[in-house]
Amino acid sequence: MNNNDNNFLIIIPEGKYKDMRLYLEDRCGSEHILPIEMYYLFQNAFKNNYKIFFLKCNSKHSIIIPEEDLKFLKTDISIHDQENYLKYCFSENVLKIKEFQYLDILKLYKIAIEKNQIGAFFLHPFLDNNLYCFNIFLIVKNNFDLNEILNSNFNLIKINSVIEYYPNTLTIEVTKKMYDLLNVQFKDHIVPYDDVSKT
């Protein structure tokens, strides 16, 4: 961890809760906590003999998200628009993307349940040439056959490359870049720490 974490995070040095992380809620929000907790989750997976893969993807569909929906999805929630947020109705295109994403996630879930080889997976949504896409982080058992995913016919994505991470390559700096909540493209559900008191 770096010095920037010291102003909102304390590692308990001794006693019953030794080595636990204590986040100072009055100094941080989820944008600070998530990258650090993800780092420890991944390191714990390594300790338990799991492998970690990052699947970089491209979009393989042609469904355009209308500008109004994009504007909504890229906007932070504020106290003034919470009511509008709850009433917002997405276009047919977005609903179709959501349906396809559900079906794609179901394929991952099926492999996880039937083969009992995926410990966890995380999606990282983004726009690829203005088309919705997502990358996938996989935590898998040692005997996991990556070809099962690589040969899957997803609705929204095509896997472009695979990075296998190791304990020394998956650092907190890497997770901070991947889980940079304040700079993600889709923000409708994120309330930055600085705005918490206003919402």
Per-residue pLDDT tens over the stretch 37-68: 888 899 999 999 999 999 999 999 999 999 99
Locate the DSSP E strands across 77-130: 118-128
Secondary structure class of 9 (helix, strand, coil): strand
pLDDT per residue over 64-85, tens digit each?
999 998 888 777 666 566 566 6
Global confidence as pTM: 0.78
Instruction: Say how far apart CA 76 and CA 188 lie, in whole Å.
Output: 5
